[in-house]
Amino acid sequence: MGTTYSIVLYGDDRFRLQAAVELAFEEVRRLDHALSNYRADSEWSRINQQAAEHPVKVSKEMFDLISACVQYSKASDGAFDITVGPLMKVWGFYKGSGRFPHRAEIRGALAKVGYTNILLDSKEQTVRFRQPGVEIDPGGIGKGFAVESAVAIMRQRGLRNFMIQAGGDLYVGGRRGDRPWRLGINDPRGAGGQSFATIELSDSTFSTSGDYERFFMKDGVRYHHILDPDTGEPARGCRSVTIVAKDPILADGLSTGVFVAGPAAGMALIERLPDVEGVIVTATNEVLVSSGLKKRLVLLAPPTDAP
């Protein structure tokens, strides 16, 4: 899925821990074969290749995931949208580091974007697209799904103290040996992955979306890969969004959705969802913290102020 996965486990039985790690990585590889849009033979790619022509029968796992994506899109008023695939391509972020497209290219891509283009038949368990050219992109949801599946394996094996990370998405269970897990929130303009704040967590997901992950600069302006499905351009209101929740899939999708929605609407969405908290670094470098995190967040220093 275009990222690196890592697993940290604490326990007394090394062989038991190693067996769990191997099972979890095997599951991640299986999901990569199913969900990756970098693989032409994946189930996800098959949907993109065929769903505009006819309903595509998919696995229950895939149907449930896409159904959840549609629900997240509705809940975020379209800020989170997996049909941004055409936009990712014209901006050069699909298998590339980015390029500045012509406005006509953006308009053409926008005509194919919108979660209402996804037609789901729960009885037949099929996915269909309303028009040719629609493409779903797993970038805002796939890593969270893989993390959730790996967490399930740890629970099934009776393990409690662990961390599973996939890029900016991670889940921490129990404790880090004899200490709580203390996680840092990246400074969007900091050097070397430094953190501007920390938080202690247990049995929770921690997901960050930022404009510093994939971007290019043109005429002093940063153009990044988190694209607004309404404008067709990089979302401009935030530098980073970190979501804390119990559900890795929700956290992954919501960090993208809040980023696109912008600071005011995004924080309002966080506050009205149960068991969800968040930290937003705005485009003007202001730090917004949801009510449930204000007493738990430790601010190390103000985020670096740079373009």
Say whether pLDDT at 2 is over 90.
no
Angstrom distance (rounded) from CA 255 to CA 273 = 13
Architecture (CATH level 2) of domain 180-299: Roll (3.10)
- Give mean pLDDT, residues 102-128: 98
Say whether pLDDT at 57 is over 90.
yes
Closest by Cα among 161, 183, 157 to 170: 183
Give me 229's structure tokens.
């499905």
Q: Is the pTM of this model over 0.85?
A: yes
> How confident is the model at residue 285, as a pLDDT?
97
Say if residues 162 and 10 touch (Cβ distance below 8 Å): yes
For residue range 71-108, what is the model confidence (pLDDT) as tens digits? 999 999 999 999 999 999 999 999 888 999 999 999 99
- Give mean pLDDT, residues 119-124: 98
CA distances from residue 301 to 186, 194, 208 in whole angstroms, order as listed: 11, 10, 18
Q: Could you count the other beta carbons within 10 Å of the beta carbon of residue 218?
A: 10
Give me 154's structure tokens.
């740890």
Question: Residue 193: which pLDDT band, with cuts at 50, 70 and 90?
Answer: confident
Q: Could you count the other beta carbons within 10 Å of the beta carbon of residue 67?
A: 14
> How confident is the model at residue 3, as a pLDDT?
85
Say if residues 46 and 213 touch (Cβ distance below 8 Å): no
H-helix or E-strand containing 215? strand 215-218
- Give mean pLDDT, residues 112-139: 97
Say whether pLDDT at 228 is over 80.
yes
Of all residues in the chain, the percent with pLDDT exceeding 90 is 93
Domain 50-136 has CATH 1.10.3980.10: yes
Say if residues 139 and 158 touch (Cβ distance below 8 Å): no
Q: Could you count the other beta carbons within 10 Å of the beta carbon of residue 182?
A: 13
* DSSP assignment string, 11-79: -S-HHHHHHHHHHHHHHHHHHHHHH-SS-TTSHHHHHHHHTTTS-EE--HHHHHHHHHHHHHHHHTTTS
> How confident is the model at residue 126, as a pLDDT?
98
3-state DSSP assignment of residue 256 = helix
Q: What is the 3-state secondary structure (H, E, C) of 266-307?
A: HHHHHHHCCCEEEEEEECCCCEEECCCCCCCCEECCCCCCCC
Closest by Cα among 76, 187, 96 to 141: 76
* Domain spans, the chain: 50-136, 180-299
Of all residues in the chain, the percent with pLDDT exceeding 70 is 100
Q: How many helices (H) and strands (E) does the chain have?
A: 8, 15
> How confident is the model at residue 1, as a pLDDT?
76
Closest by Cα among 79, 101, 82, 104 to 90: 101
